[in-house]
Amino acid sequence: MKIRLLLAPASLLCLVFTLAGCGDKKAADAKGAVKGLETTEQRASYGIGFQIGTNLAHQPGLSLDQTAFAAGVKDAVAGQKVRIDEKLIQAAFEELQKKAVAQIEAQGKENLQKANEFLAKNKTRSGVKTTTSGLQYEVLKKGFSSAKPKPTDKVRVHYHGTLIDGSVFDSSVQRGQPVEFAVNGVIPGWTEALQLMAVGDKFKLYVPPGLAYGPRPAGKIPPNSALIFEVELLAIN
């Protein structure tokens, strides 16, 4: 059965293992709570299922009938033949894909307007500098060195990233673990900003969508989002 799916192959593989291990109706009580999570297999199955469910919940335009979803995976694991015509399934996927694209485009248009309005106002604040690319930044703390990284250098940084509404999407500070990467291996806004920083500097960056992820969603980051980062350059490796 060859059907072009919305999910990545790795996610589909997880799906098979997940529902194969968690599909027993006797494992749930009347309230839907899962019982019998004592063994390694049960716990791993539940954990994978939760991860996949989280991923599915963030799929734009995707609305699942959980009963039909579980039936499809159970049939596949049991080696049963598909219950409906493959053309109908493919048509359904194509329709969902269209809805997802339309939803992303609408959300991206709205977010771009919000981003432009935010950045236009933010650039007028005292202490905020704007580069020719449109990147905005302010210096929170000056470092102890004059050494600045080149595009081919690797750096170690601490950072805290939010959307313009304050929602945190990623933070090495919260994880308590700095990260290392190549200066030219990140989003354009970061590549530009890091070359302005000396070791020990801490900047607050306001990155336009075009210097971030643009019109495509990226994890917790919606399409055409302006991003705010507090970045501290700890070392050049």
Q: Which residues are catalytic?
A: 159, 169-170, 187, 213, 229
Distances (CA, A) of 128 to 111, 153, 158: 22, 26, 21
Q: Are 224 and 214 in contact (CB under 8 A)?
A: yes
- Cα-based angle 168, 170, 175 (whole degrees, multiple of 5): 110
d(Cα 165, Cα 163) in Å, to the nearest integer? 5
How many CB atoms within 10 Å of residue 46? 17
Q: How far apart are CA 10 and CA 26, in angstroms?
A: 28
- 32 touches 67 (CB < 8 A): no
Q: Residue 119: which of 161, 164, 162, 160 has the closest Cα?
A: 164
229 beta partners: 161, 205
Residue pair 204/140 in contact (Cβ under 8 Å)? The answer is yes
Only one residue has tokens 């336009």, namely 208
